């Protein structure tokens, strides 16, 4: 299966090549002339076109995303530098703004030319350099302006004016200065200059500039530009890179300058605010005695705590004295437990109480053993009564002193407590003032820091790119490319006539090639007949060995492909339209069969335009029409062909019917053909074209095979395209195509024959139409 597919593919490729060769080779003189013309045009273009040189440069842009970043020291010195993104920087380099600076700096708005013989060339190094005072206001020159230089008078002369050198002068193109350069004028050379609009020059250079990354992982940029002068291309790229670096530095300096101006203004305002809030803090402390509120609060708390402790001690002592006073007052000479003297520090009172307690104990002990009126008892009772007033007086004296202390401490505590209650509000006010002071102070310090950073950035002028390779022009012209120009010329020489020939033949509505028939229908082509320009209708005969005669012999041999043998001997010949040559093919095929010793009868069923009698030079007689009308047969209807005793003709007759189609529907045709088959080896029927009449479809059922004649450059392609579809509706029995009238093509009258059979080419019409076949 694979071998079959490969063979089929190889055959298709060979067929395609054969078709192209057959289509274009006959026109080879046109291709030769076009090749010579385009090669000459290419030579003239290369000879007189301005050569272009290409300059290239390499620039490194620091992009932190791609591994290029400032060192910490440099970054600390240049805080104003923004991080660069390589994609943005590519667009900056391509910008018209940078290129406009290059145009202004190099004076590219002025172009210079020299002329030798008939050729005018652009030059970069001119004896004179033109500088515009205001390049944006210059006016363009319509055409190149010739000029000459007089070094003696130091003037430059144009056609209409003379201008001094090295001075600003008013010209029709603006205020210009003409200055001498180091380059001296050449002998026999005319010089010209032109002035162009700077925007136009800028746009032209931007269009020619190419800027691209070396690769996506690096921040290395390659710049290139083509120009008529390599030196100018180098200057443009070098100046462009310098302009890019200057723009970056200027942008940073502008940002730093604006930042510095802003910071200075803010510093003055913030300094005034800071001075005002410090004054407010000073006044508040002075008015409220708030030196250190936190320390003052602590001291007042200590005061209150100490006073409260002393107040508690005094109150405790006062309570103890009251208990002691009640104890002393409640005793009537009887003993008891003396209350605690805790907190009482008076030793006299303690001693008196001890004595009282001792007397009372002694009194109770004696009283149990003696009578109440005992002198000892009475003496002890008298001593107890005497000591009590002293104790009460002492207690009362201490109570007065303690009460005064308690009142004083109470007042002190209340006063300090009142002062302490005012401390939170003061502290809040002080906190608000100090907070505002801290904010303003921090802002002031921040602005001082930014001012210093801006000053460092303004003075550092660090660029964010580095030139790796300065511009270098190519050593030879890169345009025009000789090989490419000549290749395009050759391709054009083949393409233009090829397209014209292809379009002309595609626009032709008639069949031109065998492969068109093969592509439109599945019906086989069993023979190809070349065009015969002679007047004779018979190209076959005894002793004729012409090529066209051989083609009819080939057609005779191909009838076996259709099963024409034995009793299957009825052949119908028809075509699509009139003029396809069906009668020509029929007559020569019948003659070829008769030459082989077969008895052949030609029947002219074309009852509309019969031609067979005329082709054989016979006088029209009664024939088929008379038989179909009367259904009466006469042997005289059949005529013998004088040139061949095996060839006969049943003509259409003299009185052609008005309704031939209806006559064909009768039984007369069936009986006629049945009788004639028994008398002749071959019956060959000529019918009207199927494109106009249906006679062929009616006769198809009576025949064994159908030869359908297609004529080169005559039969419509549209008919062949619809042929298979028509066959399904009205079938022509056992059909095959005969490709007739193939004409010579091209200037050398080359013709193709046997296309698809491998015959090849004949290049000599005498060999085709002569008496012998010279080459096949």
Taking the chain (776 residues) in runs of 10, the rounded mean pLDDT of each run is 53 64 76 90 86 93 62 48 76 93 94 82 90 92 90 88 92 92 84 93 94 88 93 94 89 78 82 80 70 63 73 74 73 54 66 72 74 73 75 78 80 72 63 72 81 70 81 89 89 86 76 85 91 83 82 89 77 91 91 91 89 84 87 88 89 84 82 89 92 87 92 89 87 92 67 39 41 32
pLDDT of residue 768: 41
Nearest Cα to Cα of residue 50 among 207, 185, 229: 229
pLDDT of residue 538: 84
pLDDT of residue 572: 93
Alpha-carbon distances, residue 426 vs 299, 436, 438 (angstroms) = 16, 15, 18
Q: What is the tally of helices (H) and strands (E) in the chain?
A: 22, 23
358-362, long-range: CB within 8 Å, 24+ apart, which pairs? Answer: 359/383, 359/384, 359/387, 360/331, 360/333, 360/334, 360/335, 360/336, 360/384, 361/335
pLDDT of residue 766: 40
Give the distance from CA 638 to its chain's centroid.
82
Q: Which helix (H) or strand (E) holds 247?
A: helix 230-288
Strand partners, 231: none
pLDDT of residue 761: 39
In sequence order, what are the residues at sequence separation of 6 or more whose Cβ sits closer than 8 angstroms to the Cβ of residue 692? 577, 578
Q: pTM for the whole thing? A: 0.52
Q: Which two tokens stand for residue 626?
A: 């008379």
In this structure, are strands 220-227 and 162-164 parallel, antiparallel, or unpaired? unpaired
In sequence order, what are the residues at sequence separation of 6 or more whose Cβ sits closer than 8 angstroms to the Cβ of residue 453? 79, 80
Alpha-carbon distances, residue 478 vs 226, 237, 306, 473 (angstroms) = 8, 17, 105, 10
Strand partners, 762: 751
Given a contact cutoff of 8 angstroms between Cβ atoms, the answer to whether 570 and 703 are in contact is yes
Torsion-angle region of residue 503: left (phi > 0), alpha (psi -120 to 50) or beta?
A: alpha
What does the alpha-carbon distance between residue 611 and residue 582 come to, in Å, rounded to a whole number?
10
Is the omega angle on the peptide bond into residue 274 within 30 degrees of 0, that is, cis?
A: no
Q: Which two tokens stand for residue 193?
A: 């200059």
Nearest Cα to Cα of residue 707 among 679, 667, 734, 676: 734
pLDDT of residue 81: 53
DSSP 614-660: HHTTPPP-S-HHHHHHH----GGGEEEETTEEEEEEE---SS--S-H
> In degrees rounded to 5, what are phi and psi of residue 664?
-70, -15
- Print burial letters for 653-680: b (CB count within 10 Å at least 16), e (below 16): beeebeebeebbeeebbeebbeebbeeb
């Amino acid at each position: 299966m694979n071998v079959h597919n490969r063979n089929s593919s190889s055959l298709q490729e060979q067929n395609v090549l054969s078709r192209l060769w057959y289509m274009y080779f006959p026109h080879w003189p046109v291709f030769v002339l076009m090749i010579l013309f385009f090669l000459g045009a290419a030579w003239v273009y290369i000879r007189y076109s301005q050569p272009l040189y290409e300059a290239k440069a390499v620039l490194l842009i620091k992009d932190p995303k791609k591994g290029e970043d400032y060192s910490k020291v440099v970054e600390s010195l240049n805080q104003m530098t923004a991080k660069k993104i390589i994609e943005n920087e590519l667009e900056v380099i391509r910008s018209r703004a940078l290129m406009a600076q290059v145009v202004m700096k190099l004076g590219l708005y002025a172009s210079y030319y020299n002329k030798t013989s008939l050729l005018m060339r652009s030059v970069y190094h001119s004896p004179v350099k033109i500088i515009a005072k205001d390049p944006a206001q210059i006016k363009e020159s319509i055409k190149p302006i010739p000029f000459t230089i007089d070094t003696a008078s130091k003037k430059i002369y144009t056609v209409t004016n003379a201008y001094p050198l090295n001075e600003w002068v008013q010209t029709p193109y603006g205020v210009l200065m003409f200055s001498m350069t180091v380059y001296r004028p050449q002998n026999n050379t005319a010089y010209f200059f032109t002035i162009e609009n700077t925007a136009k020059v800028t746009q032209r250079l931007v269009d020619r500039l190419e800027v691209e990354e070396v690769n996506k992982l690096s921040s290395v940029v390659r710049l290139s530009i083509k120009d008529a002068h390599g030196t100018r291309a180098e200057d443009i790229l070098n100046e462009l890179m310098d302009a890019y670096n200057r723009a970056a530095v200027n942008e940073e300096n502008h940002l730093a300058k604006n930042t510095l101006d802003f910071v200075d203004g803010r510093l003055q305002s913030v300094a005034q605010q800071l001075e005002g809030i410090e004054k407010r803090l000073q006044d508040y402390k002075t008015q409220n005695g708030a030196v250190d509120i936190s320390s003052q609060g602590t001291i007042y708390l200590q005061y209150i705590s100490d006073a409260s402790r002393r107040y508690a001690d005094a109150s405790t002592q006062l309570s103890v004295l009251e208990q002691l006073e009640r104890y002393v007052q409640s005793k009537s000479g009887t003993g008891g437990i003396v209350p605690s003297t805790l907190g009482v520090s008076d030793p006299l009172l303690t001693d008196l109480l001890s004595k009282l307690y001792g007397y009372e104990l002694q009194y109770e002990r004696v009283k149990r053993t003696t009578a109440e009126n005992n002198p000892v008892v009475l003496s002890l009772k008298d001593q107890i009564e005497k000591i009590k007033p002293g104790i009460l007086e002492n207690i009362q004296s201490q109570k007065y002193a303690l009460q005064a202390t308690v009142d004083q401490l109470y007042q002190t505590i209340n006063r300090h407590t009142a002062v302490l209650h005012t401390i939170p509000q003061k502290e809040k006010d002080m906190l608000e003032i100090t907070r505002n002071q801290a904010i303003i102070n921090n802002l002031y310090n921040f602005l001082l820091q930014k001012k210093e950073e801006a000053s460092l950035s303004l003075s550092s002028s660090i660029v964010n790119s580095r030139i790796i390779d300065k511009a270098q022009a190519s050593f030879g012209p890169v345009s025009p490319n000789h090989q490419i120009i000549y290749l395009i010329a050759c391709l054009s020489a083949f393409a233009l006539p090829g397209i014209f020939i292809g379009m002309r033949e595609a626009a032709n509505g008639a069949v031109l090639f065998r492969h068109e028939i093969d592509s439109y229908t599945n019906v086989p082509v069993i023979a190809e007949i070349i065009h015969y320009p002679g007047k004779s209708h018979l190209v076959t005969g005894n002793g004729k060995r012409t090529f066209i005669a051989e083609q009819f012999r080939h057609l005779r041999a191909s009838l076996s492909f259709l099963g024409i043998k034995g009793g299957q001997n009825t052949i119908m010949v028809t075509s699509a339209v009139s003029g396809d040559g069906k009668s020509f093919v029929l007559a020569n095929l019948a003659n070829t069969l008769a030459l082989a010793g077969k008895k052949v009868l030609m029947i002219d069923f074309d009852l509309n335009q019969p031609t067979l009698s005329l082709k054989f030079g016979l006088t029209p007689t009664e024939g088929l029409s008379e038989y179909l009308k009367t259904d009466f047969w006469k042997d005289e209807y059949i005529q013998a062909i004088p040139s061949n005793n095996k060839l006969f003709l049943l003509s259409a007759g003299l009185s052609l019917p008005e309704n031939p189609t209806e006559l064909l529907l009768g039984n007369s045709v069936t009986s006629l053909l049945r009788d004639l088959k028994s008398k002749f080896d071959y019956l060959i029927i000529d019918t009207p074209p199927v494109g106009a009449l249906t006679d062929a479809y009616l006769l198809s059922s009576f025949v064994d095979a159908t030869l359908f004649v297609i004529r080169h450059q005559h039969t419509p392609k549209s008919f062949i395209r619809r042929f298979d579809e028509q066959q399904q509706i009205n079938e022509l029995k056992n059909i095959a195509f005969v490709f007739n009238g193939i004409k010579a093509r091209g200037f050398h009258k080359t013709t193709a024959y046997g296309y698809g059979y491998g015959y090849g080419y004949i290049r000599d019409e005498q060999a085709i139409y002569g008496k012998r076949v010279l080459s096949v």
